[in-house]
Structure 1
Amino acid sequence: MSRKLNPQQEAVLKSLNDPVRRRLFDFISQSAQPASRDEAAKAAGISRTLAAYHLDRLATAGLLAVSYARPEGKSGPGAGRTAKLYALAQEEVSVSLPARNYRLLGSLLANAASTDTSGVVLQALHQAAREEGKNLGQGSGELLPLLDELGYEPQADDQGEITMGNCPFHMVAQHQTQLVCSMNLQLVSGALEGCQMDCGLAELSPRAGRCCVVVHPQ
């Protein structure tokens, strides 16, 4: 039986089906700060006019968020036109056929776990998360590719410290922050153990714009 896509699903699929648009989306999603049309055009190897067209289509589909700012270091009269900037949208956009609502399921389970005053459910969640992380780590053998596959968008600096640019459970974490953060910690700690990364230590280090877990070299 054929299924008809809703307008948002059609917009998302069409947006990422174009190779140029995909390159632009990948560049914006990996940028630490909102990017201008000029920066995106240079990264994708296309003209500014073409970049503007595709970036606006991605924004219309809900994949990018738009903001406006003057060029850095310039203000007042003669500072130039306000630049249109693009960043990855914070609202999740997903396509599932047939329709599924795993976000609602996650929220319900998290709300139920948070009402358990005995601590038994939280302990079971931590154990399950750590075991799952360990099993995934043993299957992968490499920590950074595994964390990237899980949606954490890991970044390692020159000292070997790994920060996570994204929380895969962001929507649930907004309402059950402590629960989700503690689960993230156990999941990443298990992955470290499974990958046999004895030199790494995961700890909670919440900061705006990234996941709460940081991996420190011991």
Structure 2
Amino acid sequence: MTKNQHAASDAVIKSLGDPVRRRLFDFVSRSEQPVGRDEAAKAAGTSRTLAAYHLDKLTEAGLLATTYARIQGKTGPGAGRPAKLYELAQQEIALSVPPRNYRLLSSLLATAAASDDSGIVQKALLAAARQEGESLGAGAKDLLQLLGVLGYEPVQEADGSICMENCPFHMVAQHQTQLVCSMNHQLIEGVLRGCQCAAGQAELSPRPGKCCVVIHPGT
């Protein structure tokens, strides 16, 4: 590991190791819109000054990004000035000690599968994803918990649908969208089959910045 890599890893570990900082990061990462310091402080149960300090440290570590905008509905001194807002950074951060490059490996494998004109490799990949999903589902007691462990960040809507707020394979999906979305679909279909739950059916329903799969409630 290089000095720069070590410094970056150390910054990320320290950032998420602080409980207040972790609460702030979790709140910002779940928000669909950039959030201000007052809102973040209230959610984390801390002062605005301390929240601002930790939010800036999370930004320095590359976990959050900042933007500036006027906050609607704010009154009083300074209400007309743009406020500093925080949102989840688009750059993906992965830690591995010693360093490993699984992202490159997955990207190469996805490119090879997508380049196979015969379709044999893609068919095998989708079958493997479904089979793995069934295996994972068979040992699960809670569907939402399993999807969370897999990195999908599931959210159950009022109508019973389950939306995935995160794609665990985002970096590869940016370059091999169709392949990764199809794999996601088969993996989640396999999970539903494996756990034998009445959750319904997985459907491809792409949304910007989210996973491409939505689970609709069963009839």
TM-score by length of 1: 0.93
**Aligned-partner Cα distance in 1 for 2:17–2:84:** 24
- Residue 170 (structure 1) aligns with: 170
- Residue 138 (structure 1) aligns with: 138
Instruction: Quote how far apart the aligned CAs of 1:72 are.
Output: 2.3
Instruction: Quote how far apart the aligned CAs of 1:15 are.
Output: 0.7
Count of residue pairs brought into register by the alignment: 214
Q: Does 2:66 correspond to 1:66?
A: yes
**Aligned-partner Cα distance in 1 for 2:61–2:32:** 21
What is the CA deviation profile of residues 80-136 of structure 1, one whole-angstrom value per residue up to 9, with x for unaligned ones? Answer: 111111111121111111001110000000000011011111110111000111111
Gaps of 5+ in 2: none
**Aligned-partner Cα distance in 1 for 2:185–2:107:** 19
**Aligned-partner Cα distance in 2 for 1:199–1:174:** 28
- Residue 42 (structure 1) aligns with: 42
Instruction: Quote how far apart the aligned CAs of 1:73 are.
Output: 6.1
Instruction: Quote how far apart the aligned CAs of 1:198 are.
Output: 3.8
- Residue 51 (structure 2) aligns with: 51
**Aligned-partner Cα distance in 2 for 1:73–1:119:** 55
Instruction: Quote how far apart the aligned CAs of 1:7 are.
Output: 1.2
**Aligned-partner Cα distance in 2 for 1:65–1:23:** 16
Q: 1:209 to 1:50 in 2, by over 3 A?
A: same
Q: How does 1:1-218 map to 2 (within 5 A)?
A: 6-72=6-72, 80-218=80-218
Q: Percent identity?
A: 67
- Are the aligned partners of 2:173 and 2:181 in contact in 1 as well (CA < 8 Å)? yes
- Are the aligned partners of 1:141 and 1:194 in contact in 2 as well (CA < 8 Å)? no
What is the CA deviation profile of residues 171-203 of structure 1, one whole-angstrom value per residue up to 9, with x for unaligned ones? Answer: 000000000000000000001111112441101
**Aligned-partner Cα distance in 1 for 2:19–2:211:** 29
**Matched residue type, 1:20:** V
What is the CA deviation profile of residues 153-174 of structure 1, one whole-angstrom value per residue up to 9, with x for unaligned ones? Answer: 1111121101100000000000
**Aligned-partner Cα distance in 2 for 1:27–1:61:** 17
**Aligned-partner Cα distance in 2 for 1:202–1:157:** 14
**Aligned-partner Cα distance in 1 for 2:106–2:91:** 16
**Aligned-partner Cα distance in 2 for 1:24–1:57:** 11
- Are the aligned partners of 2:199 and 2:215 in contact in 1 as well (CA < 8 Å)? no
Q: CA RMSD in A?
A: 1.7
**Aligned-partner Cα distance in 2 for 1:14–1:71:** 30
Segment of structure 1 superposing worse, 109-118 or 24-33: 24-33
What is the CA deviation profile of residues 28-53 of structure 1, one whole-angstrom value per residue up to 9, with x for unaligned ones? Answer: 11212211100110011111111000
TM-score by length of 2: 0.93
2:56 aligns to what SS in structure 1? helix
**Matched residue type, 1:182:** S
**Aligned-partner Cα distance in 1 for 2:132–2:143:** 14
- Are the aligned partners of 2:205 and 2:214 in contact in 1 as well (CA < 8 Å)? yes
